[in-house]
Structure 1
Amino acid sequence: MNTATLNIGTVSKSRQALRETGLVIRREILTRTANRTILVTTGLLTLGVGAAASVGGWFLVNSPQGLDTFNLNPRMLFATAMICALLTSLVYSSQSLTSGVVEEKSSRVVEILLTKIGIGPLLAGKLLGIGLVTLAQLLVIGGAGVLGFTVMGGFSLIDIQVGPSLMWFMVWFLLGYAVFALLNTALAATVARQEDLASAVMPLSVLQMVLLVISLYVLPTHLDNAWLHALSFVPLFSSYLMPIRFGLDGIEMWQMIAAAGLSLMAIPVLFWVATLLYRNNALRTGSRVSLRTSLSAAD
């Protein structure tokens, strides 16, 4: 009887957590889709990317001499476009997430939210809500680019399986977003003022720039380097290095699956860390708190 009661209680709590998470997801989506600036910016980027991709496709089809002159590799161009889109979307989504976390703390809105919603559902809802909006923007803007490039026949000159490449790109976007968003949230939880946010998340921003350089300038010329192979399996680096290896045929499928699996296993651990930091700092105000203090038990 006690076991049955316990099971019922667990199911009830799980349903409540799901409801709370759904409410936060809805709040984040509505907040951003009602923002005219976001809608206008997305529309302009869609038109710009579509036009740029059309011009690029025309150039590839009609100017083969230009490709030889500049020694451009179409496969590398495609992989580069994927990485740049990934970096842009990760930076944008992480900035939106971290600024929202700090804004709620500084305005004391978080105190109201936590009286109605648990910390776990609150963070999960914010991550999923912002991630869904970012994914929708990426699909719309990226879709315009793919359409423009396809209309001009650009893919006819690229010896690459576009379908699997785009599929794996979406996988690495989702995994990369989850990993970097959780890490950025954990760092943002240690500050309560917007002016302290940049310095708090700077280590991850610098790391992303370093990964961009490695993925675009180092990895393509060292596809057989054992150290880079090992680094590409680390969850923090996989989302940047694996798409390049895949785009340049420098990887076997089992390696992609293994790296994705490792990133997937790291997400619950990172979520636990982010939740712990947020719980211990949600109601703290004032100057930035060190990670050591943040990880200690709340008073």
Structure 2
Amino acid sequence: MKAKGMTQQTTQHEVGEKSVSTAYREMLIVIRREVLTRTKNKTILLATGLLALTVGIGAGVGGWFLREKMGDASFQLDTRLLFATAMVSALLSSLVYSSQSLTSGVVEEKSSRVVEILLTKIGVVPLLAGKMIGIGAITLVQLLLIGGTGLLGFTLVDGWSLLELEVGAALLWFLVWFLLGYIIFATMNTILASTVSRQEDLSAAVMPLSVLQMVLLVVTLYLTPTYLEEAWLKGLSFVPLFSSYLMPIRFGLDGVQTWEMVTAASIAGVTIPLLFWVATRVYSNNALRTGSKVSLQQSFASDNGA
């Protein structure tokens, strides 16, 4: 009996490892599919190249202008605030682009019935995770390319000789909040996009999140410096949907302590698995559904039908 019990436990362990390994391979397949789809798109490549060139030229002209105006004088730049503002701008830009790509892909697969084929080969979890990671990776590479050309243009005119930069922990927190913000908003966009099956209904479905992002941008750049010490602003900066915008600016204005940043990041990190579970639930219940938009309450029903 003991040997039989050990055999059953071993078999279950092997099945579990096989399941995890299979899901991992399926996720890699989806990531590769998303990356290749976008790297082979000439329109995306051309737009990225032109934008990078424009930013590089603009940074070069700006650096030259500073040198002409400032001469040999150096001035202290508030690097933390600079990185915070750059992070918020990069986050918003990436979310606008990546959310459009992600949500339109979700709806296109539903309307063309491609999702039926995908779900017979790939599980919901690796499918959604692969789509988010693949699109997110491409978006990050595009941002690094565009930002890199800007740095190159500024360097070529020796603009750095005018600045005294002390990056410190700003760059680390830049990456942390960028990644957390992207994952949270990408997951939310996936949830909303899963409730529709036609491209003409997509803009209305994701509108609430788009409006929220614009409100957050206004609050972050214009209200935060004025109400930096207000309790409502501090409390709001711990909410996962808002923390990726508010915490970097509070950090840049020296209005936040390290423990607050760590706590807010931890709350966001704990929230992500819950949001992803909701996304997989809604997507699973609506993947084969066609017709008009359904509510989120209906999307949680266990049997939506096709």
Compute the TM-score of the two structures, normalised by the length of structure 1: 0.91
Partners of 1:113 and 1:57 lie apart in 2 by 50
**Alignment length (residue pairs):** 293
**Mean Cα displacement is larger for which, 53-62 or 245-254?**
53-62
Q: Percent identity of the aligned residues? A: 65
CA offset at residue 277 of structure 1? Answer: 0.3
Q: 1:28, CA displacement in angstroms?
A: 0.3
Q: Could you tell which deviates more after superposition, 219-228 or 31-40?
A: 219-228
The aligned counterpart of 1:51 is 57
The match for 1:7 is: 13
* Of 224, 245, 250, the match for 1:245: 250
- Greater Cα radius of gyration, structure 1 or 2: 2
Equivalent in the alignment of 1:197? 202
What letter corresponds to residue 146 of structure 1 in structure 2? Answer: L
1:101-116 superposed matches below 5 A: 101-116=106-121
SS of the residue corresponding to residue 150 of structure 2 reads helix
1:137-176 counterparts in 2 under 5 A? Answer: 137-152=142-157, 154=159, 161-162=166-167, 164-176=169-181
Superposed CA RMSD: 2.1
Matches within 5 A, 1:1-299: 1-63=7-69, 76=81, 79-152=84-157, 154=159, 161-162=166-167, 164-299=169-304
Q: Deviations over 1:167-198 (max 9, x none)?
A: 32222111111000000000000000000000
TM-score by length of 2: 0.89
Counterpart amino acid of residue 10 in structure 2 = A
Segment drifting more, 39-48 vs 220-229: 220-229
Q: Distance in 2 between matches of 1:25 and 1:5?
A: 30
Query: What SS does the aligned partner of 1:162 have?
Result: coil
How far apart, CA to CA, are the structure 2 residues paired with 1:274 and 1:164?
33
| Matched AA of 1:38 | I
1:55 to partner: Cα distance: 2.7
- Does the 8 A contact of 2:81 with 2:251 survive in 1? no
* 1:43 positional shift: 0.8
How much does 1:155 deviate? 5.2
Identify unmatched segments of 5+ residues in structure 1.
66-71
Deviation readout 1:141-171 (Å, 9 max, x if unpaired): 1122233334445556666533532332222
Tell me how far apart the structure 1 counterparts of residues 81 and 62 of structure 2 sit (CA, whole Å): 14
Instruction: Note the alpha carbon deviations across 1:17-49, whole angstroms, 9 max, x for none.
Output: 001001000000000000011111111111111
Between 11-20 and 77-86, the greater mean CA deviation after superposition:
77-86
Distance 1:174 1:268, change over 3 A: same
Contact 1:46 1:144 in 2 (8 A): yes
- Relative to structure 1, the CA distance from residue 55 to residue 81 in structure 2 (aligned partners, 3 Å threshold; closer, same or farther) is farther
